[in-house]
Amino acid sequence: MGNINELCDDLLVKILLQIPTEEVVATSLLSRRWRSVWKLVPKLDFRDYSYKYHATSAVPSEFIDKFLERNVAPALETLHLNLYHLRDYSPESFEKWVNVAVARNVLDLNLLYCLHCRYPIRFPTSLYTHETLVVLRLRGTIIDDVPSKTRLRSLKTLSLRDMSFSSDQTVDRFLSCFPVLETLVVRGWIASNVKTYSIRVASLRSLDVEELVGGYADPRYDHGYVIDAPRLKFLHMVDHFSGFCSLVNVPEELEAEIHLRFCDSDKLLGSLTSAKQLSLCLKPQMDSCLKGDFDQLVFLELCVMCSLDWLNVILKHSPKLRALRLSRTRHSCQNSRNVRTNWERPICIPECLTSSLETVEWIAYEGTEEEENVVKYLLENGNLCFKKRWRKAVYGKFSYEILRLGRG
């Protein structure tokens, strides 16, 4: 077996790409062979919460400075700065690091910053014209203005957490700057100035919007957003705060996981009729007047704590449904103040029950009278029988009973 010291620089760099930068730099102490290999690694991944900071080591900002000064890789492909622990990075240092990364053709940039920092951090202006950036993840950054000459033409993945925008229009302008964007994450904008905004991105394939609040907050009826993404494949939307949201131009075969406390459920479902898979926590809606069928829907997950009211309505409108999952696992629905009615046996049997439905899975089945009535109804009318029933199966950290019904 050969000695690792005999490997060429290219192979050693590939190995070093897998470990944190602090350890990459520490390899320079191993031997003369290793003294300069770290300088060829095209990646700086710095997390100040795991940085081993002691009397003889550089302070975090010096460590970043020195790495950038001495690194001689042909390009700095990745710069990940996770600056959460210390709160005194200067805006000038931050801007300087990003400028170096841009000058060295960075492709993948994470600027994740502490929300409670001493100095607010603004979106670095040099980034707006960086045409080759592919991945950008921001946290705790301020965006005041979006220049007209913005050229982020290659950006495919964008994550925006705990951002602060100067106005609703700034959000709309910023989100219109990415002609090939495929993946977008929007999290934690509750505390920002933003009230209503649009996500209009023609190229978008995956969208993850999450506005969670601890416990139960009253709705903000003047807060909400419009999603217009005609090529979307995956939508994950959790919102316990906004008063409205609209989906327009919803494509066929969408997979959507939606947990909304306050939005108009009837209207939302009406715009999701071309979805292929749906996972739903919705506000109960008495006397739903849903128009149109879910004629692509093959998989439906419903939260029984908040959305069992919707079971009969959606089954009636889903002629091709093959799999139904009922679950009691959304802990955020336990303290919901939305009151739903008791499930009632429908008068007409939905078409999918007798033709297409193959499996029913009930996660965290408790065997209440209402749950037993639903199961009895599905068994009687769906040509289904018990397949398996695990008592106290382990699901995540919790012990749940899982009930399975299936054909034959």
User: What is each CA distance from 348 to 273, 294, 313, 352, 354, in whole angstroms?
Assistant: 21, 18, 11, 12, 12
Asked if 250 contacts 271 with a C-beta cutoff of 8 angstroms, the reply is yes
Q: Which is nearer to Zn ion, 71 or 336 (CB)?
A: 336
Q: Which is nearer to Zn ion, 81 or 306 (CB)?
A: 306
How do the residues of the chain divide into helix, strand and coil, expressed in percent and rounded to 5? 25, 30, 45
Q: In b/e form, how buried is each residue of 357-366, taking b as 16+ CB within 10 angstroms? A: bbebbbbbbe
Three-class secondary structure of residue 394 per DSSP? strand
| Min CB(124)–Zn ion separation in Å | 40
| Min CB(258)–Zn ion separation in Å | 10
Sites of contact with Zn ion (CB under 5 A): 281, 303, 305-306, 330, 333
Q: Which is nearer to Zn ion, 61 or 279 (CB)?
A: 279
Q: Which is nearer to Zn ion, 24 or 364 (CB)?
A: 364
Q: Which is nearer to Zn ion, 141 or 332 (CB)?
A: 332
Q: Report which of 111, 127, 202 is spatially closest to residue 162, judged by C-alpha positions.
A: 111
| Min CB(363)–Zn ion separation in Å | 12
| Min CB(214)–Zn ion separation in Å | 16
| Min CB(338)–Zn ion separation in Å | 9
Q: Which is nearer to Zn ion, 71 or 288 (CB)?
A: 288
What is the C-alpha to C-alpha distance for residues 320 and 236, in angstroms, rounded to an integer? 23
What is the C-alpha to C-alpha distance for residues 268 and 246, in angstroms, rounded to an integer? 7
What is the C-alpha to C-alpha distance for residues 242 and 250, in angstroms, rounded to an integer? 20
Query: Any bridge partners for residue 323, and if so which?
Result: 299, 359
| Min CB(104)–Zn ion separation in Å | 47
